[in-house]
Amino acid sequence: MADNRENWGSKVGLILAMAGNAVGLGNFWRFPYVAASNGGGAFMIPYFFALIVIGIPVMLVEWSIGRYGGKFGHGTLGPMMYLQARQGMEPKKAIIVGALCGTIAFSVTILVNSYYNHIIGWSLGYAVHSVLGTYMKPGVDPAMFFANYVQDPKMLVFWVISLVCLAYAVMKGIQEGIESWAKIMMPVLYVFGIVLGIRALTLGSPVNPDWSSLKGLNFIWNPDFSELSWKSAIAAAGQIFFTLSLGMGIIHNYASYLKPDEDIVTASVATISLNEFAEVILGGTAVIPIAYAFLGPEGIKGSIGLAFMALPNVFSTMTGGGIFGAVWFMLLFFAGITSAIAMYNYLVALLEEDAGIERKKGAMIVFVGYLIVGAPIALESVLTHSANLIYFTEVDNWIGNYLLIVLGLIEVIVIGWCVKDRALDEMNRGGLWKVPKWFFRLFHQFLTPITIIIFLTFFTIDYA
Ligand code: PHE
């Protein structure tokens, strides 16, 4: 089955596809609102801590599980294959671990897509509205515009168009579809981000002279230690999982198309660096300061609509705002599409390799599945005539702060404690750079699982 699987066409294509997988709405839509609502600068301390202690080690684990599991198919069964083949674990037990990981990965992917694709749709819709100048007309309040937008069933057409784009890219396969889309979309995304970041830094506040974008930079880069809390630490850890695409099946799945001795350490470091550049430099420098200039220190602690409510204010008051608006929302759209392609491809690979359903048919099944799971989110605001998005926010909270982290924990325990040094050998096979033994012992066996357990415990206590 696995012999005729596709591989990535080129190193650049692979890195850009991986960056496309990781750099997503998480960077430009989720990061600003989560960081701003959790203390700004104070959020960045646990954020960087979680990046080093959880993000890097788990990323290495997922790449190696995926590459190893790729011999047998889509990659998420890697932990099971490891346990069975390399560890000599009883097949029955190994299958339980594999089934558990697979089920969590599959369910979380579906759940994420129940709302993620809607934000891609909003981005496309807003790009069109920017060009048309709808939200820039005198007397239109961007927050009201957003509320009306999410309640308007006609706008769901942008959601469906986004789903069609995804299905089309995934049907084309790895090299022709995913890789070639990422090669165009990712460089354009970085250029867009840099243009907006530069514009953001020169923005004064038309609302209050005290709220310039430079003050906004201060808000995110100069921590107020009194704002540090467990709540912000949990949010930071969750954001690391979300933004790096960890704790689902999608890193494994992309890694499963690696050649058996392709370098995992370099690929992990490249993915993380490209993602963090987009998140903390572009997301942190463009979105947060712009939002701050219009909303100020209190208003910025906003909701999931922050990117859609705050930024249009800027576009409506600046010359060429329509163009900048379209650039920003197309950036969001590209970021979202390249990540959603990764999720979509994972589900199609599952159908193809576990159920023998041909790629095109699989893509159609996922398309219909997405319409069904996305319906409650679509209907929430339409039927309740409100833009509170309570269910939406709750799903995002559970995904980001809990479900992704659970899979991460199972994986590090399997790798760090069940497979141990053999997993380290697998991680280092073929690599230019090697993961040192002390790093594996310190992080994969101790710091990473312990930190994850602490975060999960506090999240549970918080909810109890
Ligand atoms: N990492 C991507 C993002 O930041 C996609 C993703 C979202 C992956 C949610 C996993 C979970 O948007």
Per-residue exposure over 282-298, b if at least 16 CB sit within 10 Å of its own CB, e if not: bbbbbbbbbbbbbbbee
For 133, phi then psi, to 5°, come to 75, 20
Let me know: does 59 contact 51? Beta carbons within 8 Å: no
**CB hemisphere CA count around 131 (13 angstroms):** 9
- Summarize pLDDT for 158-195 with one digit per residue, the tens: 999 999 999 998 888 777 777 777 788 788 888 888 88
Give this prediction's pTM: 0.91
What is the mean pLDDT of the segment spanning 130-150? 90
How far, in Å, is the centroid of ligand 1 from the Cα of 24?
6
* 4 within some domain: no
The reported pLDDT for the residue numbered 1 is 42
Q: Which of 111, 245, 403, 407 to mutate to test the pocket of ligand 1 (most atoms within 8 A of CB)?
A: 245
**Cα(288)–Cα(307) distance, integer angstroms:** 9
Among 10-19, 142-151, 396-405, where is mean pLDDT lowest? 10-19
Atom of ligand 1 at shortest range from CA of 26: 4
ipTM of the complex: 0.97
pLDDT at residue number 88: 62
Of the candidates 255, 277, 256, which has an alpha carbon nearest to the alpha carbon of residue 267? 255
CB 444 within 8 A of CB 90: no
| Ligand 1: residue whose CA is nearest its atom 6 | 245
CB within 8 Å of 405: residues ≥ 6 apart: 237, 238, 241, 247, 452, 455, 456, 459
Residue 1 lies in a domain: no
| Tokens of residue 216, six digits | 């906004």
Is residue 419 one of the residues assigned to a domain? yes
Classify 90 as helix, strand or coil. coil
Distance CA 98, CA 80 (A): 4
Within 13 Å and on the Cβ side, how many CA atoms surround 395? 19
Task: Check residues 135 and 201 and name the one with the higher pLDDT.
Answer: 135
Question: Are residues 332 and 25 in contact, defined by beta-carbon separation less than 8 angstroms?
Answer: yes
Cα–ligand 1 centroid distance for 109 (angstroms): 10
pLDDT tops 60 at residue 129: yes
Predicted confidence band of residue 81 (pLDDT cuts 50, 70, 90): low
Most informative mutation of 23, 25, 332 for ligand 1 (most atoms within 8 A of CB): 25
C-alpha 272 to ligand 1 mean position (Å): 13
| Average pLDDT for 289-294 | 84
Look at residue 3 and tell me if it is in a domain.
no
Question: What pLDDT does 57 receive?
Answer: 97
Residue 147 sits in a domain of what CATH number?
Answer: 1.20.1740.10
pLDDT at 174 (0 to 100): 77
- Of residues 415 and 121, which shows the higher confidence score? 121
For the chain, the C-alpha Rg in angstroms (whole number) is 21
H/E stretch holding 194:
helix 180-201
Question: 209 CA to middle of ligand 1, Å?
Answer: 36
Domain membership flag for residue 270: yes
Q: Is the pLDDT of residue 71 over 80?
A: no
Ligand 1 atom with the shortest distance to the CA of 247: 10
pLDDT at 287 over 90: no
Q: Ligand 1 centroid to 242 CA: how many Å? A: 5
Residues 405 and 241 sit within 8 Å (Cβ to Cβ): yes
In a domain, 303, yes or no: yes
CA of 87 to the centre of ligand 1 (A): 32
For the chain, the domain total comes to 1
What single-letter DSSP state applies at residue 226? G
Angle of CA points 155, 139, 324, to nearest 5°: 60
Within a domain: residue 386? Answer: yes
Please report whether residue 2 resides in a domain: no
Tell me which residues have their CB closer than 6 angstroms to ligand 1.
22, 24-27, 112, 242-243, 245, 248, 339
The end-to-end CA distance of the chain, in Å, is 46
Residue range of the domain that includes 359:
11-463
Q: Is 346 helix (H, G, I), strand (E, B) or coil?
A: helix
